[in-house]
Chains A and B, each alone.
Chain A
Amino acid sequence: MLARRLALLALALVVASAVIFAVVDLVPGDPAVFVLGTGARPDTLAALRQQLGLDLPWPTRYARWLGGVLTGDLGTSLAYKAPVAGMILDRVQVSLPLALMALGLAVAVALPVGMLAASRRGRPADALAMGAAQVGIALPNFWFAMLLVLVFAVKLRWLPAGGFPGWSDPLAALRALVLPAVALALPQAAILARVLRSALIETLGQDYIRSARAKGLSRAQVLRRHALRNALIPVLTILGMQFSFLLAGAIIIENVFYLPGLGRLIFQAISQRDLVVVQSAVLVLVAAVILVTFLVDLAYAAVDPRLRGR
Chain B
Amino acid sequence: MIALKDLSITIASRQVVCGVSLPLEPGKVTALVGESGSGKSMTALAAIGLLPEGARASGRVDLDGQNLLDLPERAMDALRGRRMGMIFQEPMTALNPLMTIGDQVAEGLRRHRGLGRAQALVRARERLDRVGLPAARFPLGLYPHQLSGGQRQRVAIAMAIADAPDLLIADEPTTALDVTTQAQILDLLRGLVRDEGMALWLITHDLAVVSGVADHVAVMQQGRIVEAGATAQVFRTQAHPYTRALFAAARHVPAPSGGTAGGGPLLRVEGAVREYRLPRPALFARRPVLRAVDGVSLDVGIGESVGLVGESGCGKSTLARAILGLDALQGGAIRLDGAGVGPRMPKAQRAQVQAVFQDPFASFDPRWRVDRLVAEPFHLTGRPADWRDRVAEALAEVEIGAEAMSRHIHEFSGGQRQRIAIARALIIRPRLILLDEAVSALDVQVRARILDLLARLRRQHGLAWLFISHDLSVVRAITDRVLVMDAGRIVEEGPTGRILSHPLHPVTRRLVAAAPILPQL
What residues of chain A have their CB less than 8 Å away from a CB belonging to chain B? 1, 3-4, 7, 206-208, 210-219, 221, 225-226, 229-230, 303-306, 309-310
Contacts and interface: CB of A to CB of B under 8 A. Distances in A.
A208 B94 contact: yes
B12 interface: no
Interface string B41-52: 000000010100
A210 B88 contact: yes
Contacts of A206: 93
Contacts of B502: none
B407 interface: no
B160 A214 contact: yes
B97 A215 contact: no
Given A207-B88, A211-B88, A306-B145, A216 B93 contact: no
Nearest to B83: A216
Contacts of A310: 279
- The 3 closest A-B CB pairs, nearest first, are A216-B81, A215-B108, A207-B93
A211 to B, nearest CB: 5
A155 B96 CA distance: 52
Contacts of A217: 77, 81, 107-108, 111
B50 A213 contact: yes
A219 to B, nearest CB: 8
B409 interface: no
A284 to B, nearest CB: 28
B228 interface: no
B348 interface: no
Interface of B: 48, 50, 73-74, 77-82, 85-88, 90, 93-99, 107-108, 111-112, 143, 145, 156, 159-160, 162, 279, 283
A212 B77 contact: no
Contacts of A211: 87-88, 94-96, 156, 159
6 contacts: A208-B95, A214-B85, A215-B85, A217-B81, A217-B107, A218-B77
Contact of B96 (A208, A214, A216, A309): A208
B108 A216 contact: yes
Contact of A216 (B78, B87, B145): B78
Given A305-B97, A305-B143, A306-B145, 9 more contacts: A3-B283, A207-B93, A214-B80, A214-B86, A215-B111, A218-B73, A218-B77, A226-B96, A229-B98
B93 A215 contact: no
A216 B108 CA distance: 7
A215 B283 contact: no
Contacts of B87: 211, 214
A208 to B, nearest CB: 4
Contact of A214 (B48, B93, B99): B48
B99 A226 contact: yes
Contact of A215 (B74, B81, B90, B98): B81
Main secondary structure of the interface of B (DSSP, over half): mixed
Contacts of B162: 215
A216 B79 contact: yes
Contacts of A3: 283
A226 B99 CA distance: 8
B147 to A, nearest CB: 12
B14 to A, nearest CB: 20
B111 A210 contact: no
Nearest to A208: B96
Contacts, number: 82
A218 B74 contact: yes
Question: From DSSP, what is the main secondary structure of chain A's interface residues?
Answer: helix
A230 B97 contact: yes
Contacts of A216: 77-82, 108, 111-112
Contacts of A218: 73-74, 77
A4 B283 contact: yes
A215 B107 contact: yes
A103 to B, nearest CB: 23
B277 to A, nearest CB: 13
B505 to A, nearest CB: 35
A118 to B, nearest CB: 14
A15 B417 CA distance: 51
A205 B87 CA distance: 16
Contact of B97 (A1, A208, A213): A208
Contacts of A303: 98
A301 to B, nearest CB: 11
A207 B95 CA distance: 8
B98 A305 contact: yes
Nearest to B95: A208
Nearest to A304: B98
A304 B86 CA distance: 26
Contacts of A7: 283
Contacts of B90: 207
Contact of B50 (A1, A210, A226): A210
A297 to B, nearest CB: 15
B279 A309 contact: yes
Name the residue among B88, B96, B98 with the largest chain A CB count within 10 angstroms: B96
Contacts of A215: 80-81, 85, 107-108, 111, 159-160, 162
Contact of A221 (B79, B95, B111): B111
A305 B96 CA distance: 11
Contact of B143 (A208, A221, A229, A306): A306
A208 B93 contact: yes
Q: Which of A1, A4, A207, A230 has the most CB of B within 10 A?
A: A207
A31 to B, nearest CB: 41
A124 to B, nearest CB: 16
A230 B159 CA distance: 19
Contacts of B107: 212, 215, 217, 225
Nearest to A214: B86
A229 B112 CA distance: 23
Contacts of B96: 208, 211-212, 226, 230
A135 B95 CA distance: 38
A223 to B, nearest CB: 13
B219 to A, nearest CB: 25
A208 B159 CA distance: 11
Contacts of A305: 97-98, 143, 145
Nearest to A5: B283
A40 to B, nearest CB: 53
A170 to B, nearest CB: 38
A304 B97 contact: yes
Nearest to A310: B279
Contacts of A210: 50, 88
A303 B87 CA distance: 26
A304 B96 CA distance: 11
Contacts of B48: 214
A215 B107 CA distance: 8
B168 to A, nearest CB: 10
Contacts of B73: 218-219
Nearest to B107: A215
A208 B78 CA distance: 19
A217 B80 CA distance: 8
A304 B144 CA distance: 11
B143 to A, nearest CB: 4
Nearest to B85: A214
